[in-house]
């Protein structure tokens, strides 16, 4: 603790309910321990552009229940591959990691607390190799970060998604429709699995289990024949048909992760209607899943993560990321996490339970 005088906090990647709770926990614990705290604006972009500001207790009070992040975030600022406009409508990628280190040293930062997902942790590994002291805190609504059983923000996103599916249920029943709700999750199906199961969705489509349209259509027709005139489909944005590819909405050349998934919900709804004659609609829930006040569960988890990050700082255990495993808060080397995605095991007990209750994953006949 004696060697630490000033720390920085940044929130990288997309926004997520619970980020402010982590900032609050780290900052209040550090300030209470006599440290100076700087907030880095807009994730790594703030380090690239040298935008840092002092955080005091008044800045981090009253933010526990507030969604988003008071520091701002950016998912387009990988220091190793930073997109810079050329002036002719094009972009060129540059390595600005040495510039980031220079700004950290100029600000006299003894350590950084980096809050983010796999991309943010990958950037942290690069900076650790250049001599920066970093503690990682896992953040993603997708729950797809390696080595931790859960990430804060996921519970809130699932709550939002399940609430939307519940509301769709009543309108689907009233109009006797097939309703396909496309949910976030990128390349992992955790949100769709959890929200779909919680809302009693009839079909759940996740990236880990490729689907066949004829099986989805068969499920809808089977329900129709027994007098259930509607079907609810929870579709992860990364869901893919057997032998096909994931649906890409657009490509963003300025982003380190340029692929933006989207379109599977509309595809499934249109094809089911063509195949069965049943009226079908699709809904993209989108960024609503990222917003709003974090649930009490996420507030508590984020606070635990933030406090444990502070404890790692005090102990000088740099280069590690806070995790929860087996119900206990722990830490692992950040290098073990970067670049890995935690997907849903196809033999997961929740999948087994859902199948036993009659839920289709689109991979088997109804």
Digit-coded pLDDT (tens) for 136-148: 999 999 999 999 9
Q: Which two tokens stand for residue 49?
A: 């552009």
Question: Which pLDDT value is given to residue 227?
Answer: 87
Segments making up each domain of the chain, as ranges: 6-152+292-336, 157-291+345-356
- Bridge partner residues of 134 (DSSP): 112
Q: Which two tokens stand for residue 313?
A: 């700082």
Name residues of the chain where pLDDT drops below 70: 1-2, 256
The span from the CA of 150 to the CA of 20, in Å, is 18
157-291+345-356 matches 6-152+292-336 in CATH topology: yes
**Radius of gyration, CA atoms only, the chain:** 22
Question: Which pLDDT value is given to residue 98?
Answer: 94
Q: What pairing do the DSSP bridges indicate for beta strands 231-236 and 203-205?
A: parallel
pTM more than 0.95: no
Helix orientation angle between 296-315 and 154-175, rounded to the nearest 10 degrees: 160
Digit-coded pLDDT (tens) for 287-330: 999 999 999 999 999 999 999 999 999 999 999 999 999 999 99
Q: Which two tokens stand for residue 168?
A: 């769709």
The span from the CA of 258 to the CA of 336, in Å, is 23
What is the full DSSP assignment across 72-104? ---SS--TTSEEEE-SSS-EEEE--HHHHHHHH
- Output DSSP code: residue 257: S
Question: Which pLDDT value is given to residue 102?
Answer: 96
The Cα angle at residue 340 between residues 329 and 104, in degrees rounded to 5: 75
Q: Which two tokens stand for residue 268?
A: 């499934």
Assigned CATH topology for domain 157-291+345-356:
Rossmann fold (3.40.50)
Question: Whose CA is closest to 235, among 271, 274, 275?
Answer: 271
Question: Which pLDDT value is given to residue 253?
Answer: 74
Question: Which pLDDT value is given to residue 1?
Answer: 52
The question of whether 15 is a catalytic residue gets the answer no
Question: Which pLDDT value is given to residue 258?
Answer: 76
Give the class (CATH, top level) of 6-152+292-336: alpha beta
- Exactly one of 59, 142, 144, 298 is catalytic; which is it? 142
Helix orientation angle between 190-199 and 154-175, rounded to the nearest 10 degrees: 50
């Amino acid at each position: 603790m004696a060697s630490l005088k000033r720390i920085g906090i940044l929130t990288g990647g997309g926004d997520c309910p619970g980020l402010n709770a982590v900032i609050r926990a780290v900052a209040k614990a550090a300030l209470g321990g006599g440290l100076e705290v700087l907030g880095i604006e807009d994730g790594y972009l703030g380090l690239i552009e040298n935008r840092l500001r002092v955080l005091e207790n008044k800045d981090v009070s009253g933010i526990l229940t507030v969604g988003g992040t008071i520091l701002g975030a950016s998912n387009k600022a990988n220091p190793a591959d930073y997109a810079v406009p050329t002036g002719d409508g094009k972009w060129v990628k540059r390595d600005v990691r040495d510039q980031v280190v220079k700004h950290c040293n100029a600000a006299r930062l003894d350590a950084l607390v980096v809050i983010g997902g796999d991309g943010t942790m990958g950037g942290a590994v690069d900076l650790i190799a250049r001599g920066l002291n970093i503690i990682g805190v896992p953040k993603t609504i997708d729950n797809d970060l390696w080595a931790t059983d859960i990430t804060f923000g996921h519970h809130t996103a699932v709550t939002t998604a399940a609430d939307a599916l519940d509301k769709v249920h009543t309108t689907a029943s009233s109009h006797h429709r097939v309703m396909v709700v496309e949910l976030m999750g990128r390349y992992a199906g955790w949100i769709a699995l959890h929200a779909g199961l919680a809302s009693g969705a009839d079909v759940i489509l996740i990236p880990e289990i490729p689907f066949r349209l004829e099986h989805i259509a068969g499920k809808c027709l089977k329900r129709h024949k027994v007098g259930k005139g509607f079907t609810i489909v929870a579709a992860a944005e990364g869901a893919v048909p057997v032998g096909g590819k994931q649906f890409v909405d657009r490509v963003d050349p300025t982003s380190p992760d340029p692929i933006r998934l989207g379109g599977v919900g509309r595809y499934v709804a249109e094809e089911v209607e063509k195949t069965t004659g049943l009226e079908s609609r699709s809904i993209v829930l989108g960024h609503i899943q990222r917003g709003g006040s974090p649930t009490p569960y996420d507030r508590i988890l984020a606070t635990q993560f933030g406090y444990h990050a502070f404890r790692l700082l005090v102990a000088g255990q740099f280069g590690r990321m806070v995790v929860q495993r087996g119900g206990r808060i722990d830490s692992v080397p950040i290098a073990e996490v970067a670049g890995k995605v935690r997907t849903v095991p196809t033999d997961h007990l929740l999948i087994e339970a859902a199948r036993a209750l009659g839920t289709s994953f689109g991979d088997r006949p109804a």
